[in-house]
Amino acid sequence: MGMACIYTGISGTAFTLVNKCDHTVWPGILGNTQLDTTGFQLLSGGSRSIQASPSWSGRFWGRTGCISDQNTGQITCQTGDCGSTQMGCNGKGASPPVTLAEFTIGSGTQDFYDVSLVDGYNLPMMVEPSGGSGTCLSTGCANDLNRQCPNELRVGSGEACKSACEAFGKPEYCCSGAYATPDTCKPSVYSEMFKAACPKSYSYAYDDATSTFTCTGADYTITFCPSSTSKKSASNATSTTRGGTTSPVYGSITGSGEVPAPADDNISSWFPDFLTGESSRTLPSAASLNTLLASATSLLFLASLHFIHN
């Protein structure tokens, strides 16, 4: 599939989204100003470029397992759903768990960017700058964490992997309440699992030192499934019947799709938090985790990663 380009002006930053997954992805976009699109369908092997003006800040993510209701035309997605019921997210943020690529574009100054697992994980994603000056390193998470996700964080049959904050709702996992500062909020056994698998990605709210990157005057390529590790089906589309209505299910993702209700993702409150890597979402409490079980799970997970990498 050829590249379709959208330009809003001569100056600014070009974001090129590339889908190397073997299934369709529906990118979602949320920013301090709206781009020419806030969401679209990206077939396997496809790419699309979008222009952003200087001083733009926002996030990109991939939605999966999206279904269009044949009667109403409303769209819902198994992971990354933004609750707009449309192709575009129209100012709404992603429901966790979801992998996020976050940017603050400078105006003659440095850009800041990161790939965040603070709100969990649903797809492998990499960000690569080009044409800029400065350090300009690539970042992201190329590993398929859905295959390695602990049972207590797993969504459905493995469509996504929750953060500990979302799964358990405890302040020490969410960096909230008495744990709302870098001094009091420390990595958990779960965030350390994410960090071991994806060392350059944000694993918890105050994971700034190894997770925030800078570049000046660059364009960026955001690639879903950069290593083609996310294998869902040999087919790009099947059909499902719901309430007597047959609708396409792109990517053939199976399972319950246990996607939480969309969070209230307010731009004005989210943007300052983005600079520190902190998630803006307040998530409901869940059952507390036995510490011994968590530690054992962590050791097994890290051991499996060591085996895979070696």
Question: What are the pLDDT digits (tens) for 205-224?
Answer: 999 888 999 999 999 999 99
Q: Is residue 126 part of a domain?
A: yes
User: What band does 228 get if pLDDT is binned at 50, 70 and 90?
Assistant: low
Q: Is residue 167 part of a domain?
A: no
Under 8 Å between Cβ of 122 and 62:
yes
Which tops the pLDDT comparison, 15 or 288? Answer: 15
CATH of the domain at 35: 2.60.110.10
User: What band does 296 get if pLDDT is binned at 50, 70 and 90?
Assistant: very low
Enter the DSSP assignment of 172: H
| pLDDT tens digits, 51-86 | 999 999 999 999 999 999 999 999 999 999 999 999
* pLDDT, position 205: 93
Q: Is residue 141 part of a domain?
A: yes
Q: Is residue 63 part of a domain?
A: yes
Cβ neighbours of residue 57 under 8 Å, at least 6 residues apart? 31, 32, 103, 104, 105, 271, 274
User: What is the residue-averaged pLDDT of the chain?
Assistant: 78
Number of domains present in the structure of the chain: 1
Pairing of strands 125-130, 75-76: unpaired
Q: What is the mean pLDDT of residues 34-39?
A: 95
C-alpha angle with apex 101: 99 to 106, nearest 5 degrees? 165
| pLDDT tens digits, 112-146 | 999 999 999 999 999 999 999 999 999 999 999 99
Percent of the chain scored above 90 by pLDDT?
68
pTM of the model: 0.73
Q: Is residue 299 part of a domain?
A: no
| pLDDT tens digits, 141-152 | 999 999 999 999
Q: Is residue 188 part of a domain?
A: no
Q: Would you say the C-alpha torsion 302, 172, 118, 82 has a positive or negative sign? A: positive
Q: Is residue 192 part of a domain?
A: no
Q: Is residue 89 part of a domain?
A: yes
- Alpha-carbon torsion, ordered 222, 11, 208, 18, to 10 deg: 0
User: Which residue range forms the structural domain that includes residue 97?
Assistant: 3-162+198-281
| Cα–Cα distance measured from residue 2 to residue 310, given in angstroms and rounded to the nearest whole number | 37
Q: Which two tokens stand for residue 173?
A: 């996992």
